[in-house]
Structure 1
Amino acid sequence: MAGSTAGQGDHEGERTAFAIALRGAIAASGLSLDRIQARLRARGASVSVTALSYWQSGKRQPERQSSLSAVRVLEDILGVPAGSLLGLLPPPRPRGGAAKRRSSGAEPLTFPRETLQPLLDRVGAPHALDSQHQLKLVGLHDLCEIAEDGGQRAVTARAVFQAGADGQDRWLLVQAQGDPAAGLPELHAVRNCRVGRAEADETHGLTVAELIFDRPIDRGETHLIEYSLTNAGPPYPECQNTYYREFRRSVREYLLEVRFAPGTGPEQCWQYSRTGEAGTIARRRLKLDGGDGVHAVALDFGPGIFGIDWD
């Protein structure tokens, strides 16, 4: 199971109030967005012109701690009373804590069974959460692409399976969208598979789909597939600075890459994981590479969650 953390309510009224006030303050100041960005940068607050545009249009709202700090500086630059813009923002949405702290075991960690079960029924896999599967996920490589505005542009996945019985011909994908209000991603079969039955729950941002192999495999055989999930934008769906996978069974090797738009790599990244009933989350600092990317590897991992988050 894959995806960003589950989104909360959209707070549309508060977003509009903030956007209207910000747009009015910018207009009254006579400053262009480029000049505002330059003044923010001179005072140690890094905000892109794109982000400022989204904030004043209501397409996005500041949520990260660094963005909220930038709004405080912005109030001073625009000459409005301290707190007059911040006070129009709703509380920041949680960054996946509640979703990740569900008990492990038969229940999915990311979403409750009662939400997922109707989709499983409709794709013809009503017992998927309880039955013993004869297809083992041996290796998985996820590449998550983060756009300039900080949203999730796309995820490309390569998965290798090994059959435990003859005639294995499909894998069931469950994907959770981190920002349901942004709409569901488009699923594309890239190599060695095709999309079969697929069902979606737009309210909760869930997609369940069959990925059907281009040939059945027998006991001991392996099969590699590649697929992608592409989001519409800009603005791209809010991913709350994280990407993770939930594994209900063990995987021999999981490689997770997160690649940021050129020049937008964050200052700090961490890998995190959680296994077992205790729910303890282990974290480790990661370093960006020269291509504005970061990666983490899990070996013989699961059941549990494994992901990367960033400032």
Structure 2
Amino acid sequence: MLRAGPFHTALRWTIAARGLSLDRLRDRLAARGQSVSVSTLSNWQRGVSRPDRRDSLRALTELETILGVPPRALGRLLDEPAHQGRRQPLAPGTPMAVAHRLRADLDAPAEPELDILAVHEDVTILGPDRWRSTARIVVRARRSGVRRHVVLQHSQGDTPPTFEAGRDCELGRLRDSPDCGLIAAELVFPALSRGEAYALEYHTSGPVTENYHGHWLRAGQQLELTLRFGPDCGAERAHRIWRQDGRVPHKDVERLRVIGSRLVYLVDHDIGPGFHGIRWNWQT
């Protein structure tokens, strides 16, 4: 990440690798004569803002020392335009034009009407060839009157996943692109007021052809992902995975605990942009 960037993602994962809270970083910077607020550090690692003033760049130099990275390892990433590396394809090989077409077929607006605050998903691996999940997404309306949300799901293999509405919403129209393995589902719910939050729940299932599961997310969202393995299968090892976009392979970010070969848990309350998920090795 220090080689490829972007700056905010490299900063975020460097901080996570050192196990330091933003409060501790603020205090250590203050001890070195640099005054940087926790909110500013948070904005830097989320891509909301970047250190560009002279005092901020001095603080960044001290921050590199505190984090134990080579000089200019983070600073040189600021030489790249801020927008680079932030485009988020839905999945490797998924043309964005297809995703836009499916959304347009369901009358989804070009500008989002909802902010996704959190994604919670409980996935059960029923066996070596099938999974099912319950997903709960927390949204907040950008305007009054919003009552629909389109969910995009990339299938594993040739069979598209099934969709069912859960609590507090109904399943509307479906559109799919079999060639790309992409399906779009419309969730309908009571009209929201501007600024109002709401939780949508839906159920999906499909065949297992890959040994990973995850989501494409934007900066600042929350993720809670649970993998449960059925009696006919189990996991020997598991890793948190991440990738910036669909042009690069997954990276193993950290080893995750496998509880009794049946349960793996991942939670992050201030996600960086990209694909986040869990990869596992089958128990032999």
TM-score, normalization by structure 2: 0.62
Within 1, Cα distance between the matches of 2:161 and 2:142?
31
Inter-partner Cα distance in structure 2 for 1:199 and 1:276: 24
d(CA) in 2 for partners of 1:246 and 1:199?
A: 19
User: Are residue 265 (structure 1) and residue 234 (structure 2) matched?
Assistant: yes
CA contact (8 A) 2:91 2:154 kept: no
Q: 1:125 aligns with which of 108, 112, 117?
A: 108
Match of 1:216 in 2: 191
Deviation at 1:300, TM superposition (A): 1.5
Deviations 1:186-235 (A, max 9, x none): 2100111111221012232211111111x11112211112100123xxxx
Residue among 198, 201, 212 paired with 2:174: 198
Q: Partner amino acid for 2:213? A: Y
SS at match of 1:119: helix
Structure 1 portions without partners, runs of 5+? 1-102, 232-236
Structure 1 position 284 matched with structure 2 position 284: no
CA RMSD between the two structures:
2.6
Amino acid at match of 1:223: Y
Preserved CA contact (<8 Å) 1:274 1:282: no
1:265-306 deviation digits (Å, cap 9, x = unpaired): 221100112348996835110111247110111222132110
- In structure 2, which of residues 87, 112, 118 is the aligned counterpart of residue 139 of structure 1? 118
| CA offsets 1:33-71 (integer angstroms, 9 cap, x no match) | xxxxxxxxxxxxxxxxxxxxxxxxxxxxxxxxxxxxxxx
**Cα pair distance change 1:238/1:277, threshold 3 Å:** closer
Is 2:155 aligned against 1:177? yes
2:96 and 2:273 mapped to 1: Cα distance? 17
Q: Is the alpha carbon distance of 1:174 and 1:277 closer, same or farther for their aligned partners in structure 2, counting shifts above 3 Å?
A: closer
Matches of 1:306 and 1:201 in 2, distance apart? 23
C-alpha distance in 1 between matches for 2:239 and 2:130 = 17
Whole-Å separation in 1 of the counterparts to 2:88 and 2:262: 37
* Native 8 Å contact 2:103 2:150 kept in 1: no
CA distance in 2, matches of 1:161, 1:204: 27
- Does the Cα contact within 8 Å between 2:223 and 2:267 map onto a contact in 1? yes
Q: Deviations over 1:4-54 (max 9, x none)?
A: xxxxxxxxxxxxxxxxxxxxxxxxxxxxxxxxxxxxxxxxxxxxxxxxxxx
Q: Structure 1 residues 238 and 167, CA, compared in 2 at 3 Å: closer, same or farther?
A: same
For 2:246 and 2:89, locate their aligned partners in 1 and report how far apart those are by CA, in whole Å.
Answer: 12
Structure 2 match to 1:230 = 205
Larger Rg computed on CA atoms: 1
Identity between Structure 1 and Structure 2 (%) = 28
Gaps of 5+ in 2: 1-84
Normalising by the residue count of structure 1, what TM-score does the alignment of the two structures yield? 0.57
SS at match of 1:175: strand
* Alpha-carbon separation, structure 2, partners of 1:284 and 1:278: 21
Instruction: Check conservation: 2:125, 2:131, Cα contact below 8 A.
Output: yes
1:117–1:126 CA contact under 8 A, matched in 2 = no
Tell me, in whole angstroms, the C-alpha distance in 2 between the residues paired with 1:298 and 1:216.
Answer: 29
